[in-house]
Amino acid sequence: MSVYAFWNNKGGTGKTSLAFQVVSRYAEKYPEKKVLVIDLCPQANLSELLLGGLLGEGAVNLSSLYTSGKRISVAGYFQDRLPSPFTMPQVNYSDYICKPNDYNQNISQNIDLLAGDPVIELQTNSIATLANTQLPGTNTWMAVIDWIKDFIKLTDNKYDEIFIDCNPSFSVYTQIALSSANRLILPVMADDSSRRAIQNAFSLIYGIQMPSPMYNQFSFSTKLSEAKRSLPLIHLIVKNRLTQYMGPASAYNSVLTAINNDLQSIIISNGSIFTFNNIHQGIVDVRDFQTTGVVAFAEGKPFSKVSVGVHKILGKETQISQEYLVKCKDAIEDIVIKL
């Protein structure tokens, strides 16, 4: 079983939209596989998309998961962990999981969802305090960081693949997500801030090029290493939302080349953190989804379910062309093939 995390500590890289399309296509392509989606972003945008999107009342459907007595969400699970932070309580993982197809028939039946929940932001201070508790004989930080890993163990290998959408931060719940993953999908954009974000990612997760040695003893990688735990390996770098008409002479190209050079340098010096040896094996270029993406997300549909022609979004008509829809499908297929 592979556990994939979509993460970048920079917002606006299209992480959630990519996750939605990739997970949906993966489940369609492999209907015999059971897929679990864990939404650990408090905005819960991925959950809303899976549960119907804007036009399919995804927000209403998501809210209904919070008002059924026990919260059917990641925050519901965390809430039950707070009284027992260092040992696993007697809980049933299925109490926190919903099936998106029950709300949105555009989503494959083989996908289950541990929904996102804004309440995890309120829980953050409590979780962080517990992680830093001093308790003789107990690695409290590791016990808390393992909460999602514990949840996955509860499923007893029911799922063939697990996909986690992470918050664009390095908060404690993001660390909980990343520590449970064994594969990392890192979306970036063709700008200098994304280039810096990649460098930050290497520092935050792997302790590479830290600004000062004094941070090493407190780093995520050091703490996991001391607990004899593996870090997630970088599996794909997705250059996302590239301009449709961008050519090799574009101003963007110098930034993309710089990103490639940075990555190649780290592959040479720290190759063990990647699942690939050649930079071209681990990079996928994705053009901006533009109108096709807007329609797909408004309707809560994978690209495979989006129709060519006129769509009405909040009273406004928009046109989807066959040519561009095919390009969107092909881009997602390229990613799914490399999973």
State pLDDT tens for residues 105-127: 999 999 999 999 999 999 999 99
Which helix (H) or strand (E) covers residue 316, if one does?
A: strand 316-320
**Which single residue is written with the structure tokens 């949105």?**
104
Tell whether the model's pLDDT for residue 249 goes beyond 50: no
Residue 196 has phi, psi (to 5 degrees) of: -65, -35
Q: Which residues lie below 8 Å from residue 44, measured CB to CB, with a gap of 6+?
A: 62, 73, 115, 116, 117, 118
Q: How far apart are CA 302 and CA 100, in angstroms?
A: 13
Which residues lie below 8 Å from residue 43, measured CB to CB, with a gap of 6+? 16, 116, 118, 167
176 pLDDT band, cuts 50/70/90, is very high
Tens digits of per-residue pLDDT, 32-66?
999 999 999 999 999 999 999 999 999 999 999 99
Averaged pLDDT, 217-230? 88
Residue-level pLDDT at 243: 57
Mean pLDDT in the chain? Answer: 89
Show me where the domains of the chain are located: 2-337
Question: What are 79-107's pLDDT values in tens digits?
Answer: 999 999 999 999 999 999 999 999 999 99
Confidence at residue 285, expressed as pLDDT on a 0 to 100 scale: 85
Contacts 24+ apart (CB under 8 A), 250-254: 252/190
Instruction: Give the number of residues written for the chain.
Output: 339
Share of the chain above pLDDT 70, in %: 93
User: At residue 36, what are phi and psi to the nearest 5 degrees?
Assistant: -115, 130
Q: How confident is the model at residue 248 (pLDDT cuts 50, 70, 90)?
A: very low
* Lowest mean pLDDT across 48-52, 183-187, 214-218: 214-218
User: pLDDT tens across 9-34, in order?
Assistant: 777 777 899 999 999 999 999 999 99
Q: How confident is the model at residue 232 (pLDDT cuts 50, 70, 90)?
A: very high
Centroid of chain to Cα 115: 12
- How would residue 242 be classed by pLDDT, with cut points 50, 70 and 90? low
Q: For residue 122, what are the contacts with CB-CB under 8 A and spacing of at least 6?
A: none
Predicted pLDDT at 212: 66
| Domain range 2-337, its CATH number among 1.10.287.470, 3.40.50.2300, 3.40.960.10, 3.40.50.300 | 3.40.50.300
Sheet of 183-188: strands edge to edge?
Answer: 111-114, 35-40, 161-166, 2-6, 183-188, 233-242, 283-287
Question: Quick check: 236 pLDDT over 90?
Answer: yes
**Which stretch of 22-26, 204-208, 242-246 has the lowest confidence by average pLDDT?**
242-246
pTM exceeds 0.75 for this model: yes
Does position 245 have pLDDT exceeding 50, yes or no?
no
Cβ atoms of 88 and 102 closer than 8 Å:
no
In this prediction, residues 166-191 reach a mean pLDDT of 90
